[in-house]
Every structure is written in structure tokens, then in C-alpha cells.
Structure 1
Amino acid sequence: MIILSQFIKSHYVLNPTSIIIIIALYFGLLMVISFFTSKKNSDDTFFTGDRKSPWYLVAFGMVGAGLSGVTFVSLPGMVANNNFYFYQFILGNIVGYFFIAFVLTPLYYKLQLVSIYTFLKVRFGHHTYKTGSLFFLVSQSFGAALRLMLAAKILQYAVFDYFNVPFYLTIIIILILVWLYTNKSGIKTIVWTDTMQTIFLILGASITIYVITDTLNFSFSESIQNIIDHEYFKVFNWEATSGNNFYKQFIAGILVAIAMIGLDQNMMQKTLTCKNVWDAQKNTLTYSIILALTQFLFMGLGVLMYIYANEMGIKLQIAENGTFLNTDNLFPNLALNHLGTLAGIFFILGIIAASFSSVDSALTALTTSFTYDFLDISNKSSKTKKKLKNLVIIMFSVTIFVIILAFSHSKGDVISLIFKVAGYTYGPLLGLYLLGMFSKIKLKDKCVPVICLSTPIITYFLGQFSISAFNFDFGFINIAINASLTVVGLILIKK
């Protein structure tokens, strides 16, 4: 125990060469998993995993994809400016997962879908189907790019700046590494690699909590008490005009979970690799509980980090209005410069895991959706499938690369930006599915793209007007406004 304590408190600086070695060892593990999961593949293994994945493995692995680098870095930092209000949103997520488990999942299994947007073709027609898939492609491309951008910036700061590697080349290196271990078996490999990535993400947070509490001489119960007593531990906001109002956050949490999980090819593709509908439902409910607990862990870590920074006299950037600036830098700064060797190693492992998990399943889902929804490869030969699959992966890798470069100079916490973008891009999808599942309305199929492209624009200008005229911020509830406008617009073009 004495040796362990000394190692924990040691301050051997992780130099860039050490970090490169850690990255190489981690990537080696991914390649070993890829090797074993690439055996006995069929033509559809890349897309469906042959529907043989153990549900508990899928559930645990999905946590890593759900967390990504955004939760790992952005969530702890944001508590200083947003308290624990984000947890209202997470509570809404849990309700949304019940809808996914007992409404959407049985529907997808009944129709034996590979691309979940085929439902829109069955229900409304060809143009609606293409529109739904297109909105997913846009949403997933932005989401994956923003998640990867955050993790890549940290690796750039910790490693690649030392070797004078430009940021754009860092992104290219990560994308190539991801392609190497996913191109053969796709979702079948990712189910297993996501499990390993989840382990390292949770370990990264847990080790950091242990190091901070050990340094501050807090017992476990004292740590809990310090978090509860802290000024940032405010979970519920009842101020009507605030973007963090409970009802806005809770309702948005329900709708965003349904949209970003249940209507997302990335997340549902993993669920649909389970053997049957009951296993898929167990997977979804288990995932929701583990994810909620893990997110609370990261928010608690954020409070401990600010306590630690205050106790150690570490200066943080504060704006004139009292809000903290660049809160995404808090975790990297403490882990790499102040918390010692062990915390630094597991932070790097967590970021590496976040980098890969941010993009591997996204690229697989984007490839699946585009090849099935736009290239219709289901009846093509094995050779053609493989060729098209590889071309599409390259195409979306380039797309993600371009988006990252476009947003690389953005400020503030990335997690808020992701959900803000999602409110505009997933709103039309949510409206289409709600109308499709809970009505018998038939639509003028060719008019659907016009409605779905118009409603995000209208939602944006309504939000700006609401703020300027009534000082009322839609916050994350913009997805509800967007979906509602979509439903109204679609009803206007019914047959």
C-alpha cells in the first residue's frame, strides 16, 4: 500500500514519447480484438454483427460511445457555470430509453431492419425515407466530428505539438488508425472494442477521483459530503425563463434520448446486433442506468476538481461576468500537470479511448446508412459490397475531417454545442417517426423534404425572437419546437 501511495503521488512527467508508447500499446489491443472478431465473417457482418452479440456486452460498450470525450472532459468542467442542472436532462433521458426499449426496438425487430430509416419508406414513401436518412447523416457527421475534435485537441496539446505535427495531420492519423481495426468486421468488432473503451473511460474518472481525495485527505464519505455541500451542487432549476429550467431540460432529455439513441443508426445498429428483441430491450434499459450513474460520477468529479484547484491555488480563467472560461481545459490541465503520474496515465488512456470510440461506431453507422439507404447494396455481390463500403468510409472520414477543421477554433464546452446542433438536426426525424407511429396519415411524399428542411430554419429564428422579445431561452427544448413544427407541416401536406 505504501509503494502504491508513493506511485500515486509521484510526479514523473509523462513526456510525449511515453504517451506515444501508451497509444501504440492501446492500438495494439484494438488490433488484437479486430483479428479475433474478423474470423468467420459473412457479407453482412460489417453491418449487423450477424445478430449474435451478447446483450450485456452491447450495453456496457454503448456507455463508452455515449460518454465519448465530450463527457470525459466537458462534463466535469461545465459544473462551474451550469451546476448540476444537466442532470435534469439525464433524468429525462431515462424516460426516453423506456420508449426506445418498448416501442421502437420491437418495431425494428419486427421489420428486420438493417438501416432503421427503412421504416420511413414502408410508412410514407421513397422521398421521406431519403430525407430521414439524410438528416441522420448530417447529424451524425457533426456529432462525431465535434466529439473527436475535443479528444484530438488534447492529444495535440499532450503529444503532437512536441513533434511539430500540425492539427490536421493528427486528425488524419486518428482516422487512419480507426479504419485499420474496423474495416473488416465493422459493428462486430466495435461491440467488443467499445467495451474496452468504456472500461478505460470509467477508470480514468475513478483514478482521478482517488488521487484528488487522497491528496486532500478526504475519506469516501467526506468526498460525498463535500460534493453535496458545494455551491455547484444544484440539481433543479425552476426559473421559467432560464435555458436550464427543469421542465425544459427534462422534456428535452426525453426527446433527445429518443432522437439521438432510438432514431440514430449509430446507437441502434449496436442494439440490433442482439440475438432477439428481449435481449435488445435488456441492453437498452441496462445501458440507460449505467450511463446515468456514470454521468453523475463525472459531474461529481468536476466538483472535486474545482475544490482541488482552489485548495492548491491553481488559477483558472474567469470572465468579467464571473463565469469560467475554457472549462474543457480543466481536466487535461489537472491530470497532466498537477495530479501525478497515475492520474496522467489513465487520463491519456481515457482520451485515447474517447478518440477512437467517438469515431469508429459513427463511421460504421454512416457507412451502413449511406450504402443501404442511398446505394441499395443489399442485393449486390460480395465484391461490390466491399468496394462500396470502403469508398463510403473514406468519404465520411473526409467529411468528419472538414467539419473538425471548421469548428477547431470554437470556444466553450463542446457538450452544449453538440446538443444544440442535435436540436435542429434530429427534430425533423423525431417529427417523422412520431407521426408515422402514432397516426395513419398518408403524406404527399415529394413535399416531405421541403417541410423537413424548413422547420429547423423556422425554429432557429423563433428562438432568436423569443430571446430578444421575451428574454425566454428555448435551451435544449428547441428539439421539441422543431419536432412539433415538423408534425404540423407534415399534417398540412397529408393526402
Structure 2
Amino acid sequence: MTPTIIITILVIYFGTLILISNVIGKKDSSNNAFFQANKNSKWYLVAFGMIGTALSGVTFISVPGEVGASGGEQFKYFQFVLGNALGFIVTATVLLPLYYRLNLVSIYEYFEKRLGFYSYKSAASIFLISRTIGSAFRLYLVVIVFQYFVFDHLNIPFAATVLISLGLIFAYTYKSGLKTIIITDTLQTFFLISSVILTIIFICMAMDYSAIEAFETIKESNYSKIFFWDDFVTSKYHFVKQILGGMFVTIAMTGLDQDLMQKNLSCKNIKEAQKNMFTFTGIFVLINIFFLGVGALLYIYAESKGISVPVDPLTGKPRTDLLFPEIAFNHLALIPAIVFLLGLIAATFATTDSALTALTTSFCIDFLGMDKPENINKPNNVRNRKLIHLGFCFLMFIVIVIFNIINDASVVSMIFKIASYTYGPLLGLFSFGMFMKSRKVKDKLVPIICIAAPFITLFISMNSHLFFGNYVFDNELIIVNGLITFLLLLAISFKEKNKTSDI
């Protein structure tokens, strides 16, 4: 596939999204439409569209790539996915009823009602930092793919590629925000799911496999092992670690994250929001099975055709996340390449547009109080919200450029672990607020605890071989972080006489 064809597809794709945005924006570009989609979203559209948000471009290229990574990842990731599913169920049955009962726009308003001003600002700040870094990194990894296969050939610098990407996202989200995203993410999720399924079909056709033959080939290959019961202490892939890590990471990064919860809160009522979550959970598990299947087929295809995993030009090390685009762009026909490109674009931008909208919402609500009765009708609210939206685009641009300057493999690998440190305090804060209803905290000390807990967690992780007999932490580290936050909050709390919180 030539760069000209790829750019043509990009122009058509984003032209369609901008057209949809303009149609919706003409009808309603109010803050209520931007923040909550007027609380009139159809649950089935939200459920379907959330797939595109939950499965980023990183997932699209990295999960298949990791199936045959040097460490023999195989289908280990599916253990984590099962933990994710449990986390989604907890979110639907425990957290969503709380948010709807309190009629929240930003979920962090809960802390102002329950713990106090400083707790509220701390939680919102954690989200802003975590989501900005996480979303910037996800976009960064996929922009590298576009740069590697397209824009380097056109002598367009990396910074310009990033700026163009964020400019396109801004163009179709700044008017109606969430109301637009509910529609555009539905379209993008359709492209994402279609891409995964069609890629399997095209690879099977290239290898003369029927569906049953492909299944049997994967089953009998070295890539299909799912459950791992290696030594619990030294193996980070042990089933229990992956299940617990997947569950609590999901509770923190979905249930306690404004991004995905904002879509749930746009449904008419709690019943529709829960139907959305349960439906989304089923689709999420199924689509990840397809992703892993694609990964196995990619490696089987590569072995049969003598295709090597692409090498990072800077580090000289194999980059498994470039195998999927390498095969799609250079070894399959034009139609499969186009299908892959649409899936990658959809996975990338469905995640980033949702994140930028959530960041804007959180800042406008949690720090500017635009939903307060005294502020809700101020004449410059819409203009200010658009400027803030633009500001977060620029902030994400800066973060991505910094990632590219550092460009160190160890830094890249550490980014995936950052969620365990940044979201851990949110897990501890919510747990304390929900389970210690008879106690209040010394509110001014909460920001200090939210800073201290991740550093204590880092210290424990770095010295786990001394404290726990060579124990190796993985994603379950977020549980440790949340527990430390909870215990520190308990230490600065006091019991209110004859009073129990009703929230």
C-alpha cells in the first residue's frame, strides 16, 4: 500500500467524522451535550462504542504481537482479560448505582460530598495526570506506526504527524463532545471489529485454511496456552495474579475513571447503564479472543513465509507490535491492508477522542465548577470549554513529543505500569469513602497521602525480593497501592459522633 492511498483513506475517514460532528453540532453544541449527551444516549450504542474506547490502537497492534514475543507470551493475556470482565461486573453492580444515586456529572464530585474539598481536588488531579499520560502514550505508539510506514516517506516530521492527528480529533469533538462521540465511536467500533474478523479471514485465505483448519492449527501450535500456574512467587503470569490484577486495574481504570464512566452516565437511568456494561463485557471478552487468534495466525503466517519481526531502527531490537502492520501493509493484498488501516485508525482515535472529552469535562466540572447553579448559565462557558479542550490537545502534543525525545525502551515498558501507581490512590480513596462511612478524614492531609502512597508502593515493588522472598509483582501492584492509601487515610481519620455518612 502506497502512502498516497493511506492518506486518501485518512482524508475520507476524518472527513466523515467531521461531517457527523457538524450535523450534530448544529443541533446542539451546549455544555450539557458535551458533558452528558443530554443524558439521552441509547445504552446499546454506548455499549458498542465503548469497545472502541476500551481497546486502543496499542491493543490492536500489541496484543497480537505479544502472542509470540520472545518471552513466550502466548495467550497469557486472556487471563488478564477474564480479570477485566470481573472488574466490569463490579463496576456495574457497585459503582454505577452510587454515581446515579448522586446524579454526578464528574464522578469525582463524590469526594466533595463524602470526604471534603482537598480529597475532591486530589482525585480529579490524579485522573487528569493519569489519563493525559496514558492517552498520550497510546496515541504515541500508533503515530509511530504511521510515521514508520507513511510519513517518513513524505519527509513529514514526527511532531507534525502528532499535531495533525490531534487537530483532526479536535475538529470533530470540540462542538458537541460526548454527544458526537457516542455516534462516531459506534462507527469506529464497527470498523475495529470488522477489521479483526476480516483480517482472520484474509490470513486464512492466504494460507488456504478453512475456519476449522485455522482453529485446529492455532490449538495445536505453541501459541495457544491460556492458563499458567507457574511458581506464584516468582512468576508474574500466575493465573491468580493476572485475575486479581485484571479485576482491580479495571475497577480503577474504568469504574473510577471519568473517561469510560462519562459514557455510562449519559444513559437515561441506572438500568440502561447496567445493560450497557454487561453487554459491553461480553463483547469485550469475545473481541479479545479474536485479537489473540489474529496474533497466533500472524506468527504462523510469518513463519510459513519467512517474514521476520521488524527491528526498531534505534534500539536494534525486534518490535513485535510492528509485525501486524508489516504483514498487512507489505505482504497481503490491497483490500486486507485497507481493512487493517481502518481498524488501526478506529482503535486509536476512538480512545483518544473519548479521553480528550473526559479530560475537558473533568477540568470544567471539577476545577471551574461549570455545573454549579451559580455558574451554569454564564455566557462564556461554551467558549471557555472549547479553549480548555484545545488546551488539552496541546498538552497531549507536548507529552507525546517528550516521549519521542526520550525514546527509551525501558521508559516505554514502564509506562504500562504507571497505572498501578497513579490509579492506586483512587482505588484507596473510593474504598475508604464507600466502606468507612462512619469516619471522616483530615481533608488537608489527603493530597500528601495521594503522593506518598505511590512512592511507598514503588519502594515495596523494588525491594519485594527482600520483603516477600523473591516475590515478583505485576498488575496486582495496584491492590498494594490502594491498600496503602486506604490505611493511611484510616490513620488520619476520626469517627464522627452519632453521625454516619449516607453516601
TM-score range, shorter chain: over 0.9
Mapped partners of 1:248, 1:18: distance in 2: 45
- The 5-angstrom pairing of residues 261-410 of structure 1 reads 261-316=254-309, 325-378=318-371, 379-408=375-404, 409-410=407-408
Displacement of 1:227 in angstroms is 1.3
Q: Does the 8 Å CA contact 1:431/1:484 hold for their aligned counterparts?
A: yes
Gaps of 5+ in 2: 495-503
Q: 1:413 to 1:318 in 2, by over 3 A?
A: farther
Mapped partners of 2:311, 2:394: distance in 1: 36
Q: 1:413 to 1:223 in 2, by over 3 A?
A: farther
Q: 1:106 to 1:236 in 2, by over 3 A?
A: same
State the AA in 1 paired with 2:68: A
Q: Does the 8 Å CA contact 2:310/2:322 hold for their aligned counterparts?
A: no
Q: Does the 8 Å CA contact 2:310/2:326 hold for their aligned counterparts?
A: no
TM-score normalised by L of structure 2: 0.92
**In the alignment, structure 1 residue 93 sits paired with structure 2 residue 84:** yes
Q: 2:497 is matched with which residue?
A: none
Deviations along 1:290-309, whole A, 9 cap, x unmatched? 01110111011100000000
Query: Secondary structure of 1:442's match?
Result: strand
Mapped partners of 2:142, 2:479: distance in 1: 30
Q: 2:500 is matched with which residue?
A: none
Q: 2:209 is matched with which residue?
A: 218
Q: 1:126 to 1:182 in 2, by over 3 A?
A: same
Q: Does the 8 Å CA contact 1:56/1:283 hold for their aligned counterparts?
A: yes
Mapped partners of 1:128, 1:153: distance in 2: 38
State the AA in 2 paired with 1:35: N
- The 5-angstrom pairing of residues 9-20 of structure 1 reads 14-20=1-7
Q: 2:48 is matched with which residue?
A: 60
State the AA in 1 paired with 2:91: I
Deviations along 1:312-370, whole A, 9 cap, x unmatched? 01123699xxxx83111110111011011111111111222233213111111000001
Mapped partners of 1:144, 1:228: distance in 2: 34
**In the alignment, structure 1 residue 40 sits paired with structure 2 residue 27:** yes
Q: 1:347 to 1:187 in 2, by over 3 A?
A: same
**In the alignment, structure 1 residue 430 sits paired with structure 2 residue 427:** yes
Displacement of 1:398 in angstroms is 2.0
Pick the structure with more helix per residue: 1
Larger mean Cα displacement after TM superposition, 302-311 or 338-347: 338-347
Could you list the runs of 4 or more consecutive aligned residues of structure 1 that deviate by over 6 angstroms after TM superposition?
A: none
Larger mean Cα displacement after TM superposition, 150-159 or 175-184: 150-159
Q: Does the 8 Å CA contact 1:38/1:185 hold for their aligned counterparts?
A: yes
Q: Does the 8 Å CA contact 1:68/1:358 hold for their aligned counterparts?
A: yes
State the AA in 2 paired with 1:47: F
- The 5-angstrom pairing of residues 409-488 of structure 1 reads 409-411=407-409, 417=414, 419-440=416-437, 441-467=439-465, 470-488=469-487
- The 5-angstrom pairing of residues 100-179 of structure 1 reads 100-179=91-170
Displacement of 1:461 in angstroms is 1.5
Q: 1:67 to 1:417 in 2, by over 3 A?
A: farther
Count, aligned residues: 477
Gaps of 5+ in 1: 1-13
Q: Does the 8 Å CA contact 1:419/1:476 hold for their aligned counterparts?
A: no
Query: RMSD of aligned C-alpha atoms?
Result: 1.7
State the AA in 1 paired with 2:103: Q
Displacement of 1:54 in angstroms is 0.5
Q: Does the 8 Å CA contact 2:33/2:178 hold for their aligned counterparts?
A: yes
Displacement of 1:17 in angstroms is 1.1
**In the alignment, structure 1 residue 245 sits paired with structure 2 residue 238:** yes
Mapped partners of 2:66, 2:111: distance in 1: 37
Mapped partners of 2:489, 2:411: distance in 1: 35
Deviations along 1:83-136, whole A, 9 cap, x unmatched? 111111111111111111111111111111000000011110000000000110
Mapped partners of 2:408, 2:284: distance in 1: 27
